[in-house]
Amino acid sequence: MGEVFKLPLFPVYLADYLGATVMVILAFYALIYARRLTRLEPKNILWEYFFWFSMVMVIFSISRGMGHLLPYVLRLAHLPELWAVLDPYSGGLNTIALCGVAILTLYYHSTAVLIDRAKNDAFSLEIANDRLRVAHADLSRLNQTLEQQVEERTLDLRLSEEKFRGFFEGSKDMIYFCDATGKLSDINESGLRLLGVERRQDIVGQPLAEFFLNRQRGAQYRALLNADGQVKDFEVEFVGREDGPLYLMITASAVMDRAGALRGYQGIAKDLTHFKKIMEQLVHSEKMTSVGQLAAGVAHEINTPLGIILGYAQLLEEDFPEQSEVHETLQVIEKQAKICRRIVADLLNFSRQTQEHNKLYGDLNQCLEEVLAIVNHTLNMDHIFIHRCLAENLPKTCFDNERMRQVFVNLLTNAHHAIGSEGIIGVWSRWYEESGQIEIIIGDSGSGIPPDRLGRIFDPFYTTKGVGKGTGLGLSVSFGIIQDHNGRIEVKSPPLEAELVALDMHTTFHIFLPIISPGQEKEQ
């Protein structure tokens, strides 16, 4: 071993050893560098060629390096004969590597073309750089005012967005947006409250036409939008609210893009429900005032001759025996005259309903109980059960006890006639501290009121009863009495509240009266 290191060619062997090692290291480094180039520009053919060339050179350097290093190692390990076995493989691997280099060179024979293409790319890049320098100069000139313009535009856009958002969310009217198919894409909080929806995501994506109570009106709305691009003051009734009908007046327009294609619709809907109720009440009040004046004149004109007829009929009855035909005829005349007198009395009560009456501070529950005690026997005879649900600690208020009894009697009598026999009459009293109102509900399990008759139910002389069973003034008089108490009366057939539906109520009358103290009554 010591003799090996004393050979005169030791520096040559050392250089060969170190050279083989450096060759392997450089080959691997070239491969890694070529791999990075291919990752940076995967479509660059030149870098791909360098990568595969470096791969072959790694194989060649390993084979060549091992051919130089392994003999020294085997000689030092006293196994020189093993190298004689491995030497042909090392030479064959060298040959394969050199062939690979030749094949790669032939495969990438267009290297010169690639270099020219690279030069062209470089020239193109230089032209692009020149253009960029020119553009940079232009941008530098614009940049002096661009930031200021951007800030001004951004401020304008922010203010515009804030104005729109404030108008959108703060408006008391329903503001909505639809896509080109008519489906809702956005709606404000007022719209959600009007439609009785809690969350926006529960309604977005639904067609607006589904909320039209009358589908024909919905088709007319879409037809006008498609034909004219807008609709103005379009009145329609919506569904979806539990406390009654929802009347809206819609003003909408189509939204187009720059190419003139339809993007969607936008609109504002005003709630006309309260306005319509007020108008109906005004019309009804005017109608009742006119009818009351007419009724008063007719009643006074009829009352005198009617009293004479009734008096003479009673006097003539005394002149004939009770079992005679004349006596029976006179009794018929007396009976019909009394019916006429009752009708005249109703007419007079109807005409006097706006006059001043005696309003005292009292308990409506007590007034209800007194009336129920009077009608209870009659109802029991027809097997009609009374369901009471009167609020405890109901606040007292100022009201005319006799006239309020008349209202309750009228409503209970109507409920009795609606049921006939074997049914339930429900009576509820409630009070609402927030609104300062008392609500009285009287319902029945009768056949209900058809929708086409609900609008006329409080009209004077309108009745659904048979001949001789009613004059059609009961509800009109009740309406006037409640109105004189600064309240309102409503009818629902069928009712919407679950409690009323569960009790099988088909028609309910709701009386709302303000809670008035004795001091406030004088101000009313």
pLDDT tens digits, residue range 282-293? Answer: 666 666 666 666
Q: What is the rounded distance in angstroms from the CA atom of residue 366 to the CA atom of residue 348?
A: 28
The domain 277-351 is placed in CATH, from the list 2.40.30, 1.10.287, 1.10.3470, 1.20.120, at 1.10.287
Pick from 232-246, 287-301, 415-429: least confident: 287-301
Q: What value does the mean pLDDT take over residues 349-376?
A: 75
Residue showing tokens 């503001």: 175
Q: Is 60 exceeded by the pLDDT of residue 82?
A: yes
- pLDDT, residue 348, reads 63
| Percent of the chain residues topping a pLDDT of 90 | 8
Domain extents for the chain?
Answer: 2-109, 171-271, 277-351, 360-521
Q: Please provide residue 275's backbone torsions phi and psi, each rounded to the nearest 5 degrees.
A: -60, -45
DSSP state of 485: T
Residues 6+ apart with CB under 8 A from 476: 288, 291, 350, 458, 459, 460, 461, 462
**Which of 65, 43, 69, 38 lies closest to 54 in space, CA to CA?**
38
pLDDT in tens, 132-169: 888 877 777 777 676 677 777 777 777 766 666 666 66
pLDDT value, residue 286: 63
Mean pLDDT value across residues 18-30: 78
Task: Report whether 479 contacts 288 (CB < 8 A).
Answer: yes
Structure tokens at 121: 């790319």
pTM (predicted TM-score): 0.41
Tell whether the model's pLDDT for residue 4 goes beyond 70.
no
pLDDT at 6 over 50: no
- Side-chain half-sphere of 288: how many Cα atoms within 13 Å? 31
pLDDT band at 461 (very low <50, low <70, confident <90, very high): low
Q: CB of 423 within 8 A of CB of 444?
A: yes
Domains 171-271 and 360-521 share a fold: no
DSSP tag of 436: T
pLDDT at residue 7 above 50? no
Q: What is the mean pLDDT of residues 35-47?
A: 76
Residue-wise pLDDT for 382-396, tens only, equals 899 999 999 988 998
Q: 3 pLDDT band (50/70/90 cuts)?
A: very low
Q: What is the pLDDT of residue 288?
A: 61
* Neighbour tally for 441: CB within 10 Å: 22
The set of residues, in sequence order, having a beta carbon less than 8 Å from that of 293 and lying 6+ positions away, is 351
Output the pLDDT for position 506. Answer: 92
Q: Which amino acid is at 126?
A: E
Whether the pLDDT of residue 273 is over 60: the answer is yes
**How much is the average pLDDT of 303-325?**
81
Q: How confident is the model at residue 354, as a pLDDT?
A: 46
Share of the chain above pLDDT 70, in %: 72
Q: What is the chain's mean pLDDT, rounded?
A: 77
Say if domain 360-521 classifies as CATH 3.30.70.1520.
Answer: no
- Tokens 């018929």 correspond to what residue? 332
Query: Domain 171-271, CATH 3.30.450.20 — does that match?
Result: yes
